[in-house]
Structure 1
Amino acid sequence: MQIIHPINTFFFTLFPSLEKRNEEEITTSLKKYYTYGPFVPKVTIQDQVIYVEVDTMAIVTQEADFNQAVSLCEKRDFQAATTVLKKLILRNPSNSEYHRILGQALSEQGKQDEAINALIDALRWDAKNGWALLMMGNIFARFKKDTTTALKYYDQAILANKVDHYTLSNIAYLLLQENKLEQAKKYANEALQIQPNYPNALFILGLMAERENASHTAFEYAILAVKQAAPTDPLYQNALQQAIEWARSLSEDFEGEKAMVAYRSQLEAEGGTEIEIEKDDNIAVVAKMEFAERYNRKHHLVKYKSNYPAVAHLVMHEMVHLDFVIQARKVNHNQLFLSTQQNKNTFLEGMQPAIKKLKNKGLPQENIQKFTEGVFNGLNLQTFNTPIDLFIEEFLFKKYEKLRPYQFLSLNRLMQDAIASVTDKMILEIVPADIVSKSKIYSLVNALQFQDLYGINLIDKFQASEAELEQAQYFFKEFNDLKNKRQPAEEYLLVKQWAKALDLNNNFELENEKQYEAKSNIDTFLSQLEKDPFGLETPEDPLQQKEMELFQQNQQAEGTNSAVVMYIVSALQFFKNKSQDQIKTIAFEIAMLGTMGIDPNKKDYIIGNIPEKRFSGTQVLAYYYTSWRLAIPEHLAELGLDYGKEFEMAMKLA
């Protein structure tokens, strides 16, 4: 078949990309366009007319055999494919692709010399057959161990634009083996130009950096390779093991200690209190910060367990806790995490089945008490620390690059401990499933961050349910939304929100540090109580104000009155343990109050059946609506209060 195209305006309408191209470029493009499988047309230009000769007869008579040969190669029946290809070559020896695929089939059968001969024939018919050039390079590199000859073919393949990132990375690795680092680096970077973040190329750059004694750079490249590789890829494990090895080597230098000394001096200057650091293998946690104010000391004290890897990271982590507290104190937002005996008693009610199991096993009461308190304290530690720890690790990762090997080793060990704590059969037999699940969710959030920072995917090892993983992912998203715009003490918002989402908010109280200290001083407390018995003039906790602001922003988007929602939540909590008759009594009392009019802007309403509390007008209306909806719903419409949406939202929150 002959196709004729006069070179005119209409031709460039059909092939607009060829306008302003020379004859050679037009010929090359049309060959590519009219190529069908292995059948390349002949294109000539004469007197401003293009002639395209397509060998349709060859296509008709040979295509089926060619496709059969390709299919046999895909099925790895290379011997049968060889037979078909040799017949095709006898019929049409000028087809470069027949020779190229024959070379591939022979190479797969271990006949490398015959494969080279077939590939040379392919290149004699088409010197720019990029895949034939690549295969020649591979054979000389892998089987002949002749890097010099391999590179000649690889360079020609690059000129033919047939080299992909796989091949370029292979070339880089070959050159690395020959210790030709500059050339290897060039090919690895070219691979990354084609496929950014290709893990093999990144790992090879890491190996090169190690050869050049750039250990930190080598570690960073290994981590990048881990992040980009699939966990099932053998490279993932290779890069991970190399990262661990390099991190261990780096953690033996003094970069961690240098960071600790500098950071401690900074915090001592900012906070005005000295910091001491000591080893203590008897503490219940891997490391802890004992604040001077809480321990009645003149100095803060960081304690750590010495049997954990990269303890410099543990100490730095605890000092960031202090840093965050210093920031929060400057704006009077610092919060104290308080847990009373009443909180503990409430928690222990849910632990009764576990306590009964332990008693039946004959465990002494002292041991049972120690166990249950350990579960309570451990869950509280997770509740308080998990959101804050996320901000701390993000801060350390970004600000202290030289500390990353320490952080990597330390977090990896802590993740292993976390996995064991929620998958150990003995723990699962004793601890209520609900508590294990909540602990697992918090640990999964940490695991998601570890994966984000260092590419290590440990999620499956937690054996989490779909619901647990979804909750952890939602928490992690909330953290990510806040991390780059965090203001001092905003991490406490996540402590409260996540605890509420997991129904753990009854295990503790968060209280503003200044207000707690004022209450602890009996003279100050009594004086304030005398002046403002109903707390109407006491400034609201700034953190609570911030929490309300965020809530209101969300509610505005949903078209509800956020203040009314929160007051209805309060009303639902108040009415929770009241009988229908008790709620009716309050409902009728508020109705009587309503006959005189309720001003939403007024702040000192009194409801006799809710003693020792003053209400704003909006609060009264919220209690009014809630009491009638709970106790007298048939007459609710008569109140004229359109709080349906607010009530539904409050029910979800409460």
Structure 2
Amino acid sequence: MDQSFKKSEFLKAIFPDIDIHDNEVIRKVLTIYYSQYGHTPKVEIDGDVITISLPDSVQQKYPDDFYKAADLCTTKKYREAIPIFERLIEANPKVSEYHRNLGQAYEELGEYDNAIDSLIEALRWNPKNNWALLLMGNIYLRAEKDTQTALTYFDQIIEADPENYLALSNIGGIFLRLDKLNLAERYFKNALKVNPAFVNALHGMGIIEMRKGNTLKAFESGVSGLKACQPKDAQMKEILDDFLLSVANQYFKEGSKMDLVADYISQLERVSGKEIQIQIIKDLKVNAKIEIAENYDRDYHLVSYRPDSPRIEHLICHELTHLKLILSARELGENLLFSSDQEHLISFRKLMEPTCKKLRSDGLPEENIKGFIESVFHGLNSRVFNAPIDLFIEDLLYKEFKELRPYQFISMVEMDKLSLQAVTDQQILDITPSALISKVKVYNALTARQIDNLYGTSLESRYPLSPTEKGFLDQFWDEFLEYRKDREPGEEYELVQNWANDLELDVFFKFKRDPNNSKKGKEPTEVLEKIESNPLGSDSFLLEEEEEMKKFLSANADVNINMAIFLHMVDAIKFFKKHDEQWIQEIAMELAMLGNTGIDPHKQGYKVSFQKGKGFSGQKVLAYMYVSIALSLPDLLAELKMPFEKEYNLAKVFGT
């Protein structure tokens, strides 16, 4: 076998008689040591590299006695294990692991001199034995209080195996336990360079930042650690959960973030042109709420919160972000008002009739039953409206208010506890229709999934979801992610409507246009999208938009054309201008294949690969198909026999 060393302090540490500057001394010391085992080694020196050649190889398969001794060490029977290791070494002294295990047994017993002697032997036979290097460094650091010698052994690990992030993190942990923060940070950072998602190193960095007083950085390290946890890291995940809560609580003690809230209020007051007031209401039914000035005929917006609510800074900013979204949607004339009337309440009472019967049989007065049903009705509608919009709000808060993240984390986790209770508490389940619980569960699990996504927690896993509920959850989450990529102001209302439609909760509310919307005009394609989807079910809205379209077309085009196809073609031409011909051709073929199944111009929700989540109407599919083929495969147009030539010719004028 060949044994290799470098001229270094490490070599001198395990062969104290060597002078690393004198090659003859090096040859002599190494020859004498390795000759005692019945062979004359060949020692070659090439610059700083020393190679020792021995005729036989190291034993690869360990005898049963080795495993027996190792098992004794596992049960802390070190005294019984030591004689076995000594016999193994006497029989074959060239096996590094025999010496290393003997040294570890001595180290556990506190016999550090014996441990050092054994570990030196282990390293003479294998200088890359990382566990022996780690033990030596640990002994010199903790028992001998000799940091410099410890670093000699620790640095040899990096020299021998620079990719060994586990060993690097272990060294960081040793220094951390001794409160040598700079050295600990050095090794943790080296470990993270190799594996940025190594949980132990991320946790270590979090502890270092905490001890240095960098609480927010500590929190971020804890979050990174939680996000990096795998199923096998269950114990570490529990440790990090506790660590994150501890760091967040320390962060709160360091001072309020109401100055951040004040800045946000000032920003929105400038945008809205109205004052924003904050008030405390002890018996408020929710943690916090905002009342928009115009909706209450006031000259100021009002945010109310309950004083016992968790982390009010986050709650206030959450409500303020509702205002921010509303102002942005109003600017484009896209804000909608969510409302319900007596007819919606009657529909809900029919759903809740079994609950009413049960409550009557329990002797509850009719007035109380009525109040309870109305409370559940408004609570359900609040969830239907807020659940999708809150996803966007919390996402914005996470991105734009880094200093608020510990507040957001605690606040969302506390609210999730109530959300979980609402769909798992047996008393609630006993009196609420299971179909209703199922729908609310989807909304609540969505919020849990967002917390998990932002902070690495595992809250969603606590929700008992059926396959159908899990299917809705996955579908809604994917749609949220698609909308999040390029959301235009007001588009959040589309998710409110779409998800309510899917869960069959759309019969309990309606949308109406916000009379405070800006009068700013819209692109004709935007008008058409609203008319085709018509999520509001409002005839007055439909007629108003149609009139706007007609005015546009009467000034620019032949009114006999198919207006919907024309406007979608304008949109398609603008869209395809951003892409090359080959990509357009691939889309053309995809749409042509979709067309083979038959396209209903009045149907909604056709799925296309290039715009996931926001389904196409049948008319939009036809328009995009025609344009993509005209641009990339024009010879096929005649075969398709699509009667849209006039629409396309006019669309080219407006789309280019």
- TM-score calculated relative to the size of structure 1: 0.69
Instruction: Map 1:385-404 to 2 at 5 A.
Output: 385-404=386-405
Instruction: Map 1:489-508 to 2 at 5 A.
Output: 489-508=490-509
* Residue 215 (structure 2) aligns with: 215
Q: Secondary structure at the match of 2:602?
A: helix
Instruction: Map 1:255-654 to 2 at 5 A.
Output: 256-514=257-515, 537-539=546-548, 558-559=594-595, 560-561=598-599, 563-566=601-604
Q: Secondary structure at the match of 2:289?
A: strand
Q: Give the residue type in structure 1 aligned to 2:313.
A: A
Identity percentage of aligned residues: 35
Residue 140 of structure 1 deviates from its aligned partner by: 4.9
The range that moved more, 554-563 or 160-169, is 554-563
The 1:558–1:304 alpha-carbon spacing in structure 2 relative to 1, beyond 3 Å, is farther
**Partners of 2:507 and 2:117 in 1: CA distance:** 79
Out of 59, 66, 69, which is 2:66 matched to?
69
Q: Give the residue type in structure 1 aligned to 2:480.
A: F
Residue 288 of structure 1 deviates from its aligned partner by: 1.0
Offset from partner CA, 1:541-588 (integer Å, 9 cap, x none): xxxx9xx989999988843525232599xxxxxxxxxxxxxxxxxxxx
**Partners of 1:238 and 1:483 in 2: CA distance:** 32
Indicate if the aligned counterparts of 1:247 and 1:406 stay in contact, CA closer than 8 A: yes
Q: Give the residue type in structure 2 aligned to 1:430.
A: I
Q: Which runs of 5+ in 2 are unaligned?
A: 3-40, 46-50, 520-537, 550-563, 573-586, 607-617, 620-656
* Residue 578 (structure 1) aligns with: none
The 1:132–1:176 alpha-carbon spacing in structure 2 relative to 1, beyond 3 Å, is closer
Offset from partner CA, 1:607-638 (integer Å, 9 cap, x none): xxxxxxxxxxxxxxxxxxxxxxxxxxxxxxxx
* Residue 193 (structure 1) aligns with: 193
The 1:493–1:71 alpha-carbon spacing in structure 2 relative to 1, beyond 3 Å, is farther
**Partners of 1:472 and 1:116 in 2: CA distance:** 59
Residue 310 of structure 1 deviates from its aligned partner by: 1.2
**Partners of 1:148 and 1:233 in 2: CA distance:** 36
The range that moved more, 296-305 or 466-475, is 466-475
Residue 256 of structure 1 deviates from its aligned partner by: 2.6
Indicate if the aligned counterparts of 2:334 and 2:517 stay in contact, CA closer than 8 A: no
Instruction: Map 1:34-53 to 2 at 5 A.
Output: none
Residue 84 of structure 1 deviates from its aligned partner by: 6.0
Indicate if the aligned counterparts of 2:335 and 2:517 stay in contact, CA closer than 8 A: no
The 1:539–1:349 alpha-carbon spacing in structure 2 relative to 1, beyond 3 Å, is farther
Residue 330 of structure 1 deviates from its aligned partner by: 1.1
* Residue 629 (structure 2) aligns with: none
The range that moved more, 217-226 or 342-351, is 217-226
The 1:484–1:65 alpha-carbon spacing in structure 2 relative to 1, beyond 3 Å, is closer
Offset from partner CA, 1:88-143 (integer Å, 9 cap, x none): 43333233343234444665788765544322211233444333212323455567
**Partners of 2:298 and 2:202 in 1: CA distance:** 50
Q: Give the residue type in structure 2 aligned to 1:561.
A: I
Indicate if the aligned counterparts of 1:171 and 1:187 stay in contact, CA closer than 8 A: yes
Residue 384 of structure 1 deviates from its aligned partner by: 0.6
Residue 251 of structure 1 deviates from its aligned partner by: 3.1
- TM-score calculated relative to the size of structure 2: 0.68
Indicate if the aligned counterparts of 2:96 and 2:129 stay in contact, CA closer than 8 A: yes
* Residue 134 (structure 1) aligns with: 134
Q: Give the residue type in structure 1 aligned to 2:289.
A: K
**Partners of 1:91 and 1:386 in 2: CA distance:** 71
The 1:567–1:302 alpha-carbon spacing in structure 2 relative to 1, beyond 3 Å, is closer
* Residue 237 (structure 1) aligns with: 238
Q: Secondary structure at the match of 1:484?
A: helix
The 1:510–1:55 alpha-carbon spacing in structure 2 relative to 1, beyond 3 Å, is farther
Q: Secondary structure at the match of 1:208?
A: helix
The 1:73–1:312 alpha-carbon spacing in structure 2 relative to 1, beyond 3 Å, is same
Q: How many residues align?
A: 511
Q: Secondary structure at the match of 2:277?
A: strand
Offset from partner CA, 1:12-39 (integer Å, 9 cap, x none): xxxxxxxxxxxxxxxxxxxxxxxxxxxx
Residue 427 of structure 1 deviates from its aligned partner by: 0.5
Residue 65 of structure 1 deviates from its aligned partner by: 4.2
The 1:148–1:301 alpha-carbon spacing in structure 2 relative to 1, beyond 3 Å, is same
Q: Secondary structure at the match of 1:284?
A: coil
**Partners of 2:223 and 2:541 in 1: CA distance:** 59
The 1:538–1:431 alpha-carbon spacing in structure 2 relative to 1, beyond 3 Å, is farther
The 1:409–1:531 alpha-carbon spacing in structure 2 relative to 1, beyond 3 Å, is closer
The 1:362–1:132 alpha-carbon spacing in structure 2 relative to 1, beyond 3 Å, is same
**Partners of 1:67 and 1:163 in 2: CA distance:** 32
Indicate if the aligned counterparts of 2:188 and 2:205 stay in contact, CA closer than 8 A: yes
The 1:466–1:43 alpha-carbon spacing in structure 2 relative to 1, beyond 3 Å, is farther
Q: Secondary structure at the match of 2:457?
A: coil
**Partners of 1:531 and 1:238 in 2: CA distance:** 58
Q: Give the residue type in structure 1 aligned to 2:602.
A: V
**Partners of 1:350 and 1:334 in 2: CA distance:** 30
* Residue 155 (structure 1) aligns with: 155
Q: Secondary structure at the match of 1:289?
A: strand
Q: Which runs of 5+ in 1 are unaligned?
A: 3-41, 519-528, 569-599, 602-654
Offset from partner CA, 1:400-449 (integer Å, 9 cap, x none): 11111221121111111111111111101111111111111101111111
**Partners of 1:363 and 1:517 in 2: CA distance:** 49
The range that moved more, 454-463 or 348-357, is 454-463
Indicate if the aligned counterparts of 1:556 and 1:562 stay in contact, CA closer than 8 A: no
Offset from partner CA, 1:47-103 (integer Å, 9 cap, x none): xxxx998967x77xx555447735873794887876665444333323334323444
* Residue 11 (structure 2) aligns with: none
Residue 337 of structure 1 deviates from its aligned partner by: 0.9
Offset from partner CA, 1:256-309 (integer Å, 9 cap, x none): 312221221221221222211111122222111111121111111111111012
The range that moved more, 100-109 or 336-345, is 100-109
Q: Secondary structure at the match of 1:564?
A: coil
* Residue 165 (structure 2) aligns with: 165
Indicate if the aligned counterparts of 2:277 and 2:302 stay in contact, CA closer than 8 A: yes
* Residue 554 (structure 2) aligns with: none
Offset from partner CA, 1:207-262 (integer Å, 9 cap, x none): 22233322222222222222223575444333333322332333355663122212
**Partners of 1:395 and 1:556 in 2: CA distance:** 39
The 1:218–1:534 alpha-carbon spacing in structure 2 relative to 1, beyond 3 Å, is closer
Indicate if the aligned counterparts of 1:274 and 1:300 stay in contact, CA closer than 8 A: yes
* Residue 560 (structure 2) aligns with: none
The 1:536–1:181 alpha-carbon spacing in structure 2 relative to 1, beyond 3 Å, is closer
Residue 324 of structure 1 deviates from its aligned partner by: 0.6
**Partners of 1:567 and 1:188 in 2: CA distance:** 50
Q: Give the residue type in structure 2 aligned to 1:564.
A: H
Residue 398 of structure 1 deviates from its aligned partner by: 0.6
Q: Secondary structure at the match of 2:298?
A: coil
**Partners of 2:446 and 2:605 in 1: CA distance:** 32
* Residue 100 (structure 1) aligns with: 100
Indicate if the aligned counterparts of 1:532 and 1:538 stay in contact, CA closer than 8 A: no
The 1:426–1:328 alpha-carbon spacing in structure 2 relative to 1, beyond 3 Å, is same
**Partners of 2:468 and 2:113 in 1: CA distance:** 59
Q: Secondary structure at the match of 2:363?
A: coil
**Partners of 1:567 and 1:155 in 2: CA distance:** 61
* Residue 203 (structure 2) aligns with: 203
For the aligned residue pairs, the C-alpha RMSD in angstroms reads: 4.1
